[in-house]
Structure 1
């Protein structure tokens, strides 16, 4: 390998990490050291001296650039205990461990590297920026290694890449925005790393089929753009996300199959729009701080098999329809503050062979393993009304109260002479005004316009039951506007995407 000139601080940390399994505290300390070392945006391989044998003759330009990238990657490793890269020598790039070649998209008579699979190789080091030279690469699997540092910006140059798996490593820094510039990417897996900061809203605007961000240190909230995602799998579990689950989540109903937000710090009410996810088979929001009642709209999850609402602060009843979902195989509402459940829910213990869990609630003696009255009373006596909550509550479906009826003015006393015309009468409510200089309207019509001639002196005053409105009378109020209730869940045909394993093997050696 070439000589590596890493900062002494990082060398010490990295050598320690290769000698024994790390505790969570040690991993966090190493991640922090890396982040502080790279805060000036210097890539770790800026100091790497790469030894490439220029005597090797490779006439295929695609394989030549792949050779350069793979040699840079090999030289960026400081540990390879299984000698995974031991045969990464010589011009036959397609014979290297983990490398798979197929006919080039640009010239079928030449080969190109389409897949680099280093899953579970147990190598340690950095991902060099030369990786971006592999523009024919379609699948890049790096999971279950000890890569650290940052994802290089040059990855955006991999124009054929559609599957990127860097999970279960020690990458650090903010969300690797460079991957958002990879034009054909559809599968993104960066779980089990030390990425932090906010999730960029642009992520959910990309045509990804699967998004795995779980087990990092992402903070802030879930972007509203999540409703625009067309992914079948979205896993954000085990981060430090706060705020509310966006109501836009219901807009992802056409494609979303697995929805996992467990073990974050999400608050507020579970949006009623979640019931629109009619294609979801996995729905998991456990381990948060969600409040209020369980929405009745969850009865729309007609295909859900795994439903986990446990370890929140839900109050009220367990909706009966929830326990009667046709595809349900596992339901957990444990560790909440629920006070009642229907017999249909209790029957799930028998029908689902114990895969229903309602322990640690506030159902009293009717169920086993419930909370004490001392735990329940402070929460149950002050339930959150999701309709009245201003932030993260449910939309009100009640129409606004009608406006007050106008107060009728008393009729004027009889007069021997007609009343003077008003200076500026309001327009008639129903009938249009008569033309100028027309004779006076019948007694039951509103007063004539300003330029109408007055009635004769001997004419009787208008009847009491239809007095002209006084000049100061306010205009009639507009008709009340009623907000329609939200539309019922729309059942759309399922659009099934590929189900990926965790971590996934290469789908196939090539494109």
Structure 2
């Protein structure tokens, strides 16, 4: 399967929101026991913690003849992935047979960026296929892949270390699956990564500060189990990020002053955490802001300018379920006291207090408060070939960005009109056409 021609992207497709409120969450159909079993199976197959030896591909005897060695490596990777699939209810990978990997469902091929005479696998899109399984280490052989989109499936386990080989990977969407463990640090090493979507999984633990030193255009970490105590100061280094969603985790403490560095952010999601202190004026004055959501926290103050965002600046603004005096729909005083009266000392983590915050002399941590459960994201179909009709697939959020394999470096444009909840997995957009045009122009040089 080759990438579509320029004519196929001659007009901008409208954003399509597919709401499926009556459907069950796919991931819930995979029990915890089954998920744990799949994860164990994955770890047992890993070589060197999920990395691959340099000569790994030569250990395989393949009877087919391929047009070039990269297609052979792609064949090995995709066949290993097929073996790692536990359930494929729509037989989406049913045609993953034979040497012609470019004809496989969900696999995209195009001329190699470094040698246009070679056809290579430049992307994999299994969005919404409801597949259960794990990610094998062999996927690191897809070294020409610029995008991997797996949202709304039932993949389990961890991200293998072999992903460090994916030096051209521009977009990675793992949202709405059942991946576990700490933040996959291997993703920090990917030099071309600009779009990262990990929402609606079961990742946990602290966020590495190095993540915020990457040149990201969009970062979705919401609806996991991340717990970094105070948010790292380095978060302000995301100068080019247009969407940042940290909602529905267990972050505590006050917001670092470095948030003022988010000069390009349009949608900022902080809802459903255990954040305290004051929402500072500097955040509410961010120049590109169109959506600020910090509901279901324990903020006890907000700058006056924040209250004018919705009425005077047409910004989607949600401060409900906090501890804000004289604001509607707030927590009761007893609930607030349990957290507000026991502030976290963010100085220990080099995390400066928000402006206008009162002193925080006490240094013991607040009691753990479990964030409210949020609905799963709404599934949005990817480019052709589309996955089969959804029956048990989960509802995901509304659309943001989708793109075919891009040429690195590429800057993503601003996301679509804001919603209170986080924007969803990517779909066809102007970004799609821009990246395709750039890629094709490069190949014709």
TM range (shorter): 0.5 to 0.7
Structure 1 residue 248: Cα displacement? 1.2
User: CA 1:76–1:32 in structure 2 vs 1: closer, same or farther (change >3 Å)?
Assistant: closer
2:62 match: secondary structure: coil
The equivalent of 1:249 in structure 2 is 259
The equivalent of 2:279 in structure 1 is 270
Which of 1 and 2 has higher RCO (CA within 8 Å, sep 6+)?
2
Which stretch of structure 1 is more off in the superposition, 241-250 or 256-265? Answer: 241-250
* Alpha-carbon separation, structure 2, partners of 1:496 and 1:300: 29
2:324 match: secondary structure: strand
Structure 1 residue 115: Cα displacement? 1.3
The equivalent of 2:371 in structure 1 is none
1:432-473 deviations in whole A, cap 9, x for unaligned? Answer: xxxxxxxxxxxxxxxxxxxxxxxxxxxxxxxxxxxxxxxxxx
Identify the match of residue 242 of structure 2 among 216, 232, 246.
Answer: 232
* Alpha-carbon separation, structure 1, partners of 2:66 and 2:113: 19
User: CA 1:31–1:226 in structure 2 vs 1: closer, same or farther (change >3 Å)?
Assistant: farther
* Alpha-carbon separation, structure 1, partners of 2:30 and 2:89: 25
Identify the match of residue 199 of structure 2 among 191, 194, 205.
Answer: 191
The equivalent of 1:498 in structure 2 is 414
User: CA 1:34–1:78 in structure 2 vs 1: closer, same or farther (change >3 Å)?
Assistant: closer
* Alpha-carbon separation, structure 1, partners of 2:277 and 2:357: 15
The equivalent of 1:394 in structure 2 is 355
The equivalent of 1:170 in structure 2 is 178
Structure 1 residue 335: Cα displacement? 1.8
* Alpha-carbon separation, structure 2, partners of 1:272 and 1:240: 24
Structure 1 residue 378: Cα displacement? 11
* Alpha-carbon separation, structure 1, partners of 2:84 and 2:206: 29
* Alpha-carbon separation, structure 1, partners of 2:30 and 2:70: 43
The equivalent of 2:387 in structure 1 is none
The equivalent of 2:377 in structure 1 is none
User: CA 1:81–1:279 in structure 2 vs 1: closer, same or farther (change >3 Å)?
Assistant: same
Identify the match of residue 322 of structure 2 among 289, 293, 312.
Answer: 312
Indicate conservation of the 8 Å contact 1:31/1:194, yes or no: no
Indicate conservation of the 8 Å contact 2:278/2:357, yes or no: no
Structure 1 residue 222: Cα displacement? 1.4
* Alpha-carbon separation, structure 2, partners of 1:118 and 1:126: 13
1:118-168 deviations in whole A, cap 9, x for unaligned? Answer: 001111111011111111101100111111000111112111110000111
Structure-to-structure mapping, 1:276-291, within 5 angstroms: 276-291=285-300
* TM-score, normalised with respect to structure 1: 0.58
* Alpha-carbon separation, structure 2, partners of 1:236 and 1:128: 28
User: CA 1:314–1:392 in structure 2 vs 1: closer, same or farther (change >3 Å)?
Assistant: farther
- Gap regions ≥5 residues in structure 1: 1-18, 317-332, 338-374, 398-494
2:279 match: secondary structure: coil
User: CA 1:244–1:168 in structure 2 vs 1: closer, same or farther (change >3 Å)?
Assistant: same
* Alpha-carbon separation, structure 1, partners of 2:35 and 2:294: 28
Indicate conservation of the 8 Å contact 1:263/1:288, yes or no: yes
Is 1:261 the counterpart of 2:270? The answer is yes
The equivalent of 2:373 in structure 1 is none
Indicate conservation of the 8 Å contact 2:257/2:354, yes or no: no
User: CA 1:75–1:183 in structure 2 vs 1: closer, same or farther (change >3 Å)?
Assistant: same
Indicate conservation of the 8 Å contact 2:323/2:333, yes or no: no
User: CA 1:296–1:59 in structure 2 vs 1: closer, same or farther (change >3 Å)?
Assistant: same
* TM-score, normalised with respect to structure 2: 0.66
Cα RMSD over matched residues?
Answer: 3.6
1:231-279 deviations in whole A, cap 9, x for unaligned? Answer: 0100011111111111211121x21111001011111222232133121
* Alpha-carbon separation, structure 2, partners of 1:305 and 1:33: 46
The equivalent of 1:335 in structure 2 is 329
The equivalent of 1:84 in structure 2 is 92
Structure 1 residue 282: Cα displacement? 0.3
Indicate conservation of the 8 Å contact 1:275/1:300, yes or no: no
User: CA 1:232–1:153 in structure 2 vs 1: closer, same or farther (change >3 Å)?
Assistant: same
Indicate conservation of the 8 Å contact 1:276/1:300, yes or no: no
Instruction: Work out the number of aligned pairs and report it.
Output: 330
The equivalent of 1:69 in structure 2 is 77
User: CA 1:95–1:496 in structure 2 vs 1: closer, same or farther (change >3 Å)?
Assistant: closer
Structure 1 residue 59: Cα displacement? 3.2
* Alpha-carbon separation, structure 1, partners of 2:26 and 2:62: 39
The equivalent of 1:223 in structure 2 is 232
- Flag the structure with larger Rg: 1
Structure 1 residue 21: Cα displacement? 5.8
Structure-to-structure mapping, 1:22-41, within 5 angstroms: 27=32
